[in-house]
Amino acid sequence: MAKTAPKPDRKYSDRTPREERLAREARSEKKYSDVKSNPRAKINPDGTKTYDQSTFFASCPREVEHLLEKEIRDLGITRIEVEKGGVAFKCETEEALDVLLNSRVASRVFKEIQVYTITSEKDIYTMAKEKWWDKIFEVHQTFKINTLFDRETKEHFSNSIIFSQLLKDAIADNFREKFGERPSVDTGRPDITFLLRVERKPGSDLFNARILVDMCGEPLSNRGYREESLKAPLRENLAAAIIMTTDFDPSVDLFTDTMCGSGTLLIEAILIRAKVAPTYLKIRQYIEKKVPVFDFLKHPWFIVDRKSVRLFEEKAQAVYNHSLTALNELQTRQFFGFDLTERALETTRAHLYNAHIDPQIVTLNKRDATKITPMDEPPGIVICNPPYGERMGEEEELKNLYKDYGENLKHNFKGFRAYVFTSNPLLRKHISLGTSKRFTFYNGSLECRLLKYDLY
Ligand SMILES: C[S@@+](CC[C@H](N)C(=O)[O-])C[C@H]1O[C@@H](n2cnc3c(N)ncnc32)[C@H](O)[C@@H]1O
C-alpha cells in the first residue's frame, strides 16, 4: 500500500515568496499542448488498463525531422509536433511500437511519463518524489538519467547535472521509503534510461520538465549488421535518411555507391527496396533467442499492459516473417558497390552476410571511382560519401579526388543522377559540375551537404 506522501525535504523547499507563488500557479496550471499532455489510465472491469493516448518522442539526427514526421504520418498517426532533433506525437502505445519498429531515420523512441511545471531545480525533487516509480521500473533494476535543456533554459539554469541528481535522489528516496531499498545507478548500460527535458514555457518564468523513458536502450541506428568499423562509417539511420532524400526509385533505378566503405548506403538501399523493417535483425534475436532487444520489454509500465504486449508479439512476428520472405525472394541486379581498398569490400561482404542479404544481388568491385564506368544503362543514381578530410585523409590530397571524380561523372555517367555526401565545403568546390539540389545534414556535430548533380 502506498504511504501517505511525506513532507518535502526542508533542504529542497527554501523558496522565496515569489518562487512559492510561481510554483503554486504552476501546480494549478491545466493547459497542455495537444500533443504533450499527461497520460491517464482507466482501469477496465477485467483489470486491464486503457490509456488515453500517450505522448511519445522520436529523436533523429538534426535536419531529418521532416523525414521522420512523414514516416510517422504514413503510419496513420496524426497528432504530431515537429521539434528540433525529433518529433513528438500522441497515440496509443501500439501505434508508437509501429514507429519504433519501422522508422528508418529515428535514433530512439521515448515515452513521456510525466510533465511538471517548475520554477526552480528544487521543484524536480519535490514533485518527482511523489511519483509511483515502482510502476515504471523495479527496485532491482538499474537506471540512468540524462538531462537536456533547450536554449532558453540554458540561459536561466547553470547546469543540467543538478537536475539529473535531484531526479535521481527523488527516485531513490521514493523507492527507499516504500521498499527500504533503492535501485542503483548504472551510467553504462542501465535497465532503464530517463530523459529529462527542461524547456521554458513561452513568455513566462515557468519551465516544463518532461520525464521520458527511453524505450530502445541500444539506439535504433544500430541495426545489428555492423561489426567491424572501418574509418568514418555513416550511421545507419543517417544513411537511410540520405537515400530517402534522393530521388532513388527502387522499382527502376540502378543504385551505385562508388566509394562504398563498409556498405552502409548499399545495405540501407536494399532494405528500402525489399521494404524490410530496419529492426528486423533485432526482431530475429528476439524471436529466435528470446533476447529482450528493446529496453521497454523489461519495464513494468509496458509488461502490465497485456494488450500492448500481445500486439507487440504480433507485430514482431509480422516483421520477422516478412523479412525472411522479402530478403529470400529479392532478385535484382541493380546494386553496385566500388571501393579502392580490399578491406572495405571485405567489410561490406561481412555486413551483407550479417544482414542476411544474398551477396548475388550486389556487384562489388575494387575500383578507382575516378575511373569507373557504369555497369548498366540508366536510369539510376550514383552516390558516394568520399573521405572529407575531417577524420580520414588530408584535405590537400583529397582535392584531386573530388576534381577527378567530378570529371569522371561528367564524361561517363550521362543520364544518371549523381549524389555526393560531404561535410567539406572546400573540397566540394573542386567538383566542376553544377549542383541541381543541396540538402543539409548533420553527421554527429559535423554539418554536411548532400549535393545532387544531374548528368546530361
Ligand atoms: C567515408 S568512407 C565511406 C564510408 C561509407 N559510406 C560507410 O558508411 O561505411 C570513404 C571511402 O571511400 C574510399 N575511397 C577513397 N578514394 C577512393 C577512390 N578513388 N575510389 C574508390 N573509393 C575510394 C575509401 O577507401 C573509403 O572506404
**Ligand 1 atom 7, closest CA:** 233
CA dist list (Å): 380 to 99, 375, 408, 409, 415: 30, 11, 16, 13, 8
Q: Sort strands 41-43 and 143-149 into parallel, antiparallel or unpaired.
A: unpaired
- Compute the distance between CA of residue 295 and CA of residue 289 in angstroms, rounded to an integer: 16
Mean pLDDT, range 125-146, rounded to an integer: 96
Same domain, yes or no, for 240 and 208? no
Same domain, yes or no, for 189 and 335? no
Ligand 1 centre from 258 Cα, in Å?
8
pLDDT of residue 227: 87
Residue 55 belongs to domain with CATH number: 3.30.2130.30
Q: What number does the ligand 1 atom closest to the CA of 257 have?
A: 6
pLDDT of residue 155: 87
- Nearest in space to 386 (alpha carbons), one of 368, 373, 374, 412: 368
pLDDT band at 30 (very low <50, low <70, confident <90, very high): very low
Same domain, yes or no, for 163 and 80? yes
Instruction: Look at residue 243 and tell me if it is in a domain.
Output: yes
- Compute the distance between CA of residue 433 and CA of residue 182 in angstroms, rounded to an integer: 63
Cβ of residue 265 lying under 6 Å from some atom of ligand 1: yes
Ligand 1 centre from 385 Cα, in Å?
7
Mean pLDDT, range 90-110, rounded to an integer: 97
pLDDT of residue 148: 94
Which tens digits make up the pLDDT trace of 410-456?
999 999 999 999 988 889 999 999 999 999 999 988 999 999 999 99
pLDDT of residue 392: 56
The 10 Å Cβ neighbour count of residue 450 is 21
Which carries the bigger pLDDT value, residue 398 or residue 7?
398
Which tens digits make up the pLDDT trace of 272-325?
999 999 999 999 999 999 999 999 999 999 999 999 999 999 999 999 999 999
Cβ of residue 424 lying under 6 Å from some atom of ligand 1: no
Same domain, yes or no, for 160 and 264? no
The 10 Å Cβ neighbour count of residue 142 is 16
Helices 65-74, 236-245: crossing angle, 10 deg rounding: 80
Same domain, yes or no, for 106 and 210? yes
Same domain, yes or no, for 247 and 179? no
Domain that holds residue 406: 236-274+330-454
Instruction: Look at residue 293 and tell me if it is in a domain.
Output: no
Query: Which among 339, 424, 428 is the best mutation to test ligand 1's pocket, defined by most ligand atoms within 8 Å of the CB?
Result: 339
Ligand 1 centre from 266 Cα, in Å?
13
Mean pLDDT, range 103-126, rounded to an integer: 96
Cβ of residue 341 lying under 6 Å from some atom of ligand 1: yes
- Compute the distance between CA of residue 8 and CA of residue 417 in angstroms, rounded to an integer: 64
Mean pLDDT, range 159-169, rounded to an integer: 95
Same domain, yes or no, for 243 and 370? yes
Reply yes or no on whether the pLDDT at 38 is more than 50: no
- Into how many domains does the chain fold? 2
Cβ of residue 340 lying under 6 Å from some atom of ligand 1: yes
pLDDT of residue 298: 97
Cβ of residue 339 lying under 6 Å from some atom of ligand 1: yes
Same domain, yes or no, for 122 and 189? yes
pLDDT of residue 40: 47
Which tens digits make up the pLDDT trace of 217-249?
999 999 999 986 667 789 999 999 999 999 999
Same domain, yes or no, for 247 and 203? no
Cβ of residue 217 lying under 6 Å from some atom of ligand 1: no
Residue 406 belongs to domain with CATH number: 3.40.50.150
Mean pLDDT is lowest, of 48-57, 229-238, 338-347, 366-375, for: 48-57
Q: Sort strands 143-149 and 192-200 into parallel, antiparallel or unpaired.
A: parallel
Which tens digits make up the pLDDT trace of 361-411?
999 999 999 999 999 999 999 999 999 876 555 777 899 999 999 999 999
Same domain, yes or no, for 243 and 107? no
Instruction: Look at residue 313 and tell me if it is in a domain.
Output: no
Same domain, yes or no, for 263 and 339? yes
The 10 Å Cβ neighbour count of residue 440 is 11
pLDDT band at 14 (very low <50, low <70, confident <90, very high): low
Cβ of residue 348 lying under 6 Å from some atom of ligand 1: no
Three cell numbers, residue 142: 538499474
pLDDT band at 151 (very low <50, low <70, confident <90, very high): confident
- Compute the distance between CA of residue 379 and CA of residue 360 in angstroms, rounded to an integer: 21
pLDDT of residue 18: 53
Same domain, yes or no, for 34 and 168? yes
Reply yes or no on whether the pLDDT at 39 is more than 50: no
Q: What is the pLDDT of the chain when averaged over all its residues?
A: 90
307 within 8 A of 48, measured Cβ to Cβ: yes
pLDDT above 70 covers what percent of the chain? 87
Cβ of residue 261 lying under 6 Å from some atom of ligand 1: yes
Whether the bond into 379 is cis, omega within 30 of 0: yes
Instruction: Look at residue 310 and tell me if it is in a domain.
Output: no
Instruction: Look at residue 305 and tell me if it is in a domain.
Output: no
End-to-end CA, the chain = 75
246 within 8 A of 452, measured Cβ to Cβ: yes
**Ligand 1 atom 5, closest CA:** 261
